[in-house]
Amino acid sequence: MSKIEETLKLHTSYFSQKYKAYPWTDPNFYALYLHQVYEYAKLSTKLLAYAATRTPEKRRNFFDEIMHHIKEESGHEILAQNDLMNLKVDHKSLKTVHATKSMYEAQFGKILLYGDHIMMGYQIALEYLAITVGSELYDLLHNVYDDNSLSFLKVHVKEDVDHVEKGLESLKAFNDEELEDIADNIKQSLYAYLLIIDECHQLYLANKEEVKNTLLY
């Protein structure tokens, strides 16, 4: 097993212990989470395109893989938007938590600072998370919600499974130093994702108790 795969396995198992503590079966919490998904998924093709602009000519294959991936990810935010509509929630009424913006904005900054390769840490972290923790979550939630409110999860758990393998294959283009950066970004991205879920929980509790926390939002 490669060092990247070890990192993915180790840090996703930590994630797996943590995420279960949140109230996924409450539509108010699930909708708030889905809104965050909508917000970061909306930026994912732009992030891939930004990484592509920084790809050196010697990595032409990697550039082509990014272009192909942009097509595959295009419109995925609509899945989350439809899930929200089917939950009968207007996602414009939901707040984007600070952790969501911090996660995706950091990724643009990292590409600027370190280069195109760094994006693979974020991409692989989220796609591996989907086929492991996302799969467990889908199994839990499909007894609670209709499948038409679970389409984002379902597509990433059941249909886009090959994205992880394709992503791991792409890593052959990178040297040891770049792979270190990618491993570090995997950890950072998974931790950032947990912070999103945790901040959603704080906001969910605040709304539930009708405590309008104007300091945070």
State in angstroms the smallest separation of the CB of 141 from Fe ion.
18
Pull the structure tokens for residue 2: 């490669």
**Torsion angles phi and psi, residue 159, rounded to 5:** -100, -35
State in angstroms the smallest separation of the CB of 215 from Fe ion.
34
State in angstroms the smallest separation of the CB of 58 from Fe ion.
24
Binding span for Fe ion by CB under 5 A among 12-20, 76-84, 180-188, 197-205: 76-84
Binding-site residue total for Fe ion (CB under 5 A)? 3
Question: What's the longest Cα–Cα distance across the chain?
Answer: 56
**Interaction with Fe ion in 152-171: which residues (CB under 5 A)?**
163
DSSP, collapsed to helix, strand or coil, labels residue 21 as coil
Residue 35 vs 76, nearer CB to Fe ion: 76
Contact status: 76 vs Fe ion (CB under 5 A): yes
Cβ atoms of residues 52 and 116 within 8 Å: yes
State in angstroms the smallest separation of the CB of 126 from Fe ion.
8
Pull the structure tokens for residue 170: 């792409």
**Please, what is the Cα angle at 188 between 1 and 162, to 5 degrees?**
45
DSSP 24-79: TTSHHHHHHHHHHHHHHHHHHHHHHHHHHHT--GGGHHHHHHHHHHHHHHTTHHHH
Residue 117 vs 203, nearer CB to Fe ion: 117
**Please, what is the Cα angle at 102 between 98 and 107, to 5 degrees?**
160
Residue 80 vs 203, nearer CB to Fe ion: 80
State in angstroms the smallest separation of the CB of 7 from Fe ion.
19
**Interaction with Fe ion in 56-75: which residues (CB under 5 A)?**
73
Residue 171 vs 203, nearer CB to Fe ion: 171
Residue 76 vs 154, nearer CB to Fe ion: 76
Catalog residues that contact Fe ion under the rule CB under 5 A: 73, 76, 163
